[in-house]
Amino acid sequence: MGAIVRSETYYRRPSTCTQQKWDAASWPERALIYLEYVLRMRIPRPEGDNGLTAWARIDSGRWLAECPTCGSAQVVTPTDPRMTCCRDFTGWTTLLMPADPDAVEAPLVDLPVTEQFWWNPDDPANPAEDPSPYPPTEPKADPAGGAA
Protein backbone atom coordinates (compact mmCIF):
# COMPACT_ATOMS: atom_id res chain seq x y z
CA MET A 1 0.00 0.00 0.00
CA GLY A 2 1.13 3.51 -0.61
CA ALA A 3 1.58 6.25 -3.16
CA ILE A 4 1.77 5.42 -6.83
CA VAL A 5 5.39 5.58 -7.99
CA ARG A 6 6.29 8.20 -10.59
CA SER A 7 9.62 9.10 -12.15
CA GLU A 8 10.11 11.60 -9.33
CA THR A 9 10.21 8.86 -6.70
CA TYR A 10 11.76 6.08 -8.78
CA TYR A 11 14.81 7.60 -10.46
CA ARG A 12 17.53 8.80 -8.11
CA ARG A 13 20.57 10.90 -8.89
CA PRO A 14 23.54 8.60 -9.45
CA SER A 15 26.83 9.44 -7.78
CA THR A 16 28.35 10.13 -11.22
CA CYS A 17 25.95 13.04 -11.82
CA THR A 18 26.40 16.45 -10.24
CA GLN A 19 23.48 17.95 -8.36
CA GLN A 20 23.54 20.92 -10.75
CA LYS A 21 23.19 18.69 -13.84
CA TRP A 22 20.43 16.66 -12.12
CA ASP A 23 18.48 19.78 -11.14
CA ALA A 24 18.72 21.19 -14.67
CA ALA A 25 17.30 18.04 -16.28
CA SER A 26 13.61 17.30 -16.86
CA TRP A 27 12.18 14.07 -15.42
CA PRO A 28 12.41 12.19 -18.73
CA GLU A 29 16.03 13.36 -19.04
CA ARG A 30 16.73 12.28 -15.45
CA ALA A 31 15.46 8.83 -16.36
CA LEU A 32 18.14 8.69 -19.07
CA ILE A 33 20.86 9.84 -16.66
CA TYR A 34 19.80 7.16 -14.18
CA LEU A 35 19.56 4.44 -16.86
CA GLU A 36 23.00 5.33 -18.21
CA TYR A 37 24.41 4.74 -14.74
CA VAL A 38 22.53 1.48 -14.14
CA LEU A 39 23.12 0.06 -17.64
CA ARG A 40 26.73 1.32 -17.79
CA MET A 41 26.27 2.65 -21.31
CA ARG A 42 25.85 5.98 -23.06
CA ILE A 43 22.33 6.72 -24.24
CA PRO A 44 21.98 9.19 -27.11
CA ARG A 45 19.77 12.16 -26.30
CA PRO A 46 16.67 12.56 -28.45
CA GLU A 47 16.87 15.33 -31.00
CA GLY A 48 13.13 15.91 -31.14
CA ASP A 49 9.67 14.44 -31.14
CA ASN A 50 9.41 11.15 -33.04
CA GLY A 51 5.71 11.58 -33.83
CA LEU A 52 4.79 8.46 -31.84
CA THR A 53 2.45 8.15 -28.88
CA ALA A 54 2.24 5.60 -26.07
CA TRP A 55 -0.41 4.96 -23.45
CA ALA A 56 0.61 5.40 -19.83
CA ARG A 57 -0.85 3.03 -17.25
CA ILE A 58 -0.42 2.12 -13.61
CA ASP A 59 1.19 -1.30 -13.26
CA SER A 60 1.99 -2.75 -9.81
CA GLY A 61 1.87 0.71 -8.30
CA ARG A 62 4.06 2.44 -10.92
CA TRP A 63 3.24 4.75 -13.81
CA LEU A 64 4.60 2.87 -16.84
CA ALA A 65 4.65 3.34 -20.57
CA GLU A 66 5.89 0.95 -23.22
CA CYS A 67 7.94 1.96 -26.22
CA PRO A 68 5.61 1.77 -29.25
CA THR A 69 8.34 0.26 -31.43
CA CYS A 70 10.02 -2.35 -29.21
CA GLY A 71 7.76 -2.73 -26.17
CA SER A 72 10.35 -2.03 -23.48
CA ALA A 73 8.82 -0.26 -20.48
CA GLN A 74 9.89 2.74 -18.46
CA VAL A 75 8.64 4.41 -15.29
CA VAL A 76 7.10 7.75 -16.33
CA THR A 77 5.39 10.76 -14.79
CA PRO A 78 2.24 12.72 -15.59
CA THR A 79 4.11 15.96 -14.84
CA ASP A 80 6.14 15.64 -18.09
CA PRO A 81 4.31 13.15 -20.32
CA ARG A 82 7.05 11.94 -22.64
CA MET A 83 9.63 9.21 -22.76
CA THR A 84 12.40 7.95 -24.98
CA CYS A 85 13.45 4.37 -25.41
CA CYS A 86 16.94 3.44 -24.27
CA ARG A 87 16.91 0.42 -26.62
CA ASP A 88 15.97 1.83 -30.01
CA PHE A 89 16.68 5.57 -29.56
CA THR A 90 13.69 6.78 -31.60
CA GLY A 91 13.32 10.25 -30.07
CA TRP A 92 10.74 11.66 -27.67
CA THR A 93 7.47 9.74 -27.57
CA THR A 94 4.40 11.63 -26.36
CA LEU A 95 2.56 9.85 -23.54
CA LEU A 96 -1.21 9.65 -23.47
CA MET A 97 -2.12 10.39 -19.85
CA PRO A 98 -5.44 10.82 -18.09
CA ALA A 99 -6.65 14.41 -17.68
CA ASP A 100 -6.57 14.04 -13.88
CA PRO A 101 -3.85 11.52 -12.85
CA ASP A 102 -4.38 12.28 -9.15
CA ALA A 103 -8.01 11.16 -9.45
CA VAL A 104 -6.85 7.93 -11.12
CA GLU A 105 -4.31 7.30 -8.34
CA ALA A 106 -6.65 8.10 -5.41
CA PRO A 107 -8.67 4.84 -5.31
CA LEU A 108 -5.49 2.76 -5.72
CA VAL A 109 -3.28 4.10 -2.92
CA ASP A 110 -4.94 2.07 -0.15
CA LEU A 111 -4.67 -1.19 -2.10
CA PRO A 112 -1.69 -3.56 -1.88
CA VAL A 113 0.88 -2.89 -4.63
CA THR A 114 -0.09 -6.22 -6.23
CA GLU A 115 -3.55 -4.74 -6.86
CA GLN A 116 -2.54 -1.25 -7.99
CA PHE A 117 -3.39 -1.39 -11.69
CA TRP A 118 -5.12 1.05 -14.03
CA TRP A 119 -5.44 1.12 -17.82
CA ASN A 120 -6.92 3.94 -19.83
CA PRO A 121 -10.28 2.70 -21.15
CA ASP A 122 -9.32 3.99 -24.63
CA ASP A 123 -6.02 2.04 -24.69
CA PRO A 124 -6.41 -0.75 -27.28
CA ALA A 125 -4.13 -2.96 -25.16
CA ASN A 126 -6.43 -2.63 -22.11
CA PRO A 127 -6.92 -6.22 -20.92
CA ALA A 128 -10.41 -5.35 -19.61
CA GLU A 129 -11.55 -4.96 -23.19
CA ASP A 130 -12.41 -8.04 -25.24
CA PRO A 131 -9.77 -8.09 -28.01
CA SER A 132 -11.79 -10.59 -30.05
CA PRO A 133 -14.31 -9.22 -32.57
CA TYR A 134 -16.17 -12.54 -32.35
CA PRO A 135 -18.17 -13.70 -29.31
CA PRO A 136 -17.25 -17.04 -27.77
CA THR A 137 -19.19 -20.00 -29.11
CA GLU A 138 -20.48 -23.13 -27.41
CA PRO A 139 -18.55 -26.33 -28.17
CA LYS A 140 -20.19 -28.54 -30.76
CA ALA A 141 -21.73 -31.72 -29.47
CA ASP A 142 -19.92 -34.94 -30.31
CA PRO A 143 -22.20 -37.47 -32.05
CA ALA A 144 -21.00 -40.02 -29.48
CA GLY A 145 -22.56 -37.93 -26.72
CA GLY A 146 -19.56 -35.90 -25.45
CA ALA A 147 -18.26 -32.48 -26.32
CA ALA A 148 -15.95 -32.25 -29.31
DSSP string, the chain: --PPB-HHHH----TTS-HHHHHHS-HHHHHHHHHHHHHTS--PPP-SEEEEEEEEEEETTEEEEE-TTT--EEE--TTS-EE--TTT---EEEEE--S-HHHHHTTTTTS-GGG--B--TT-TT-TTS---SS---PPPBPTTSSB-
| Grouped pLDDT means (10 residues each) for the chain, 148 residues | 89 95 95 92 90 96 95 94 89 95 95 94 83 62 62
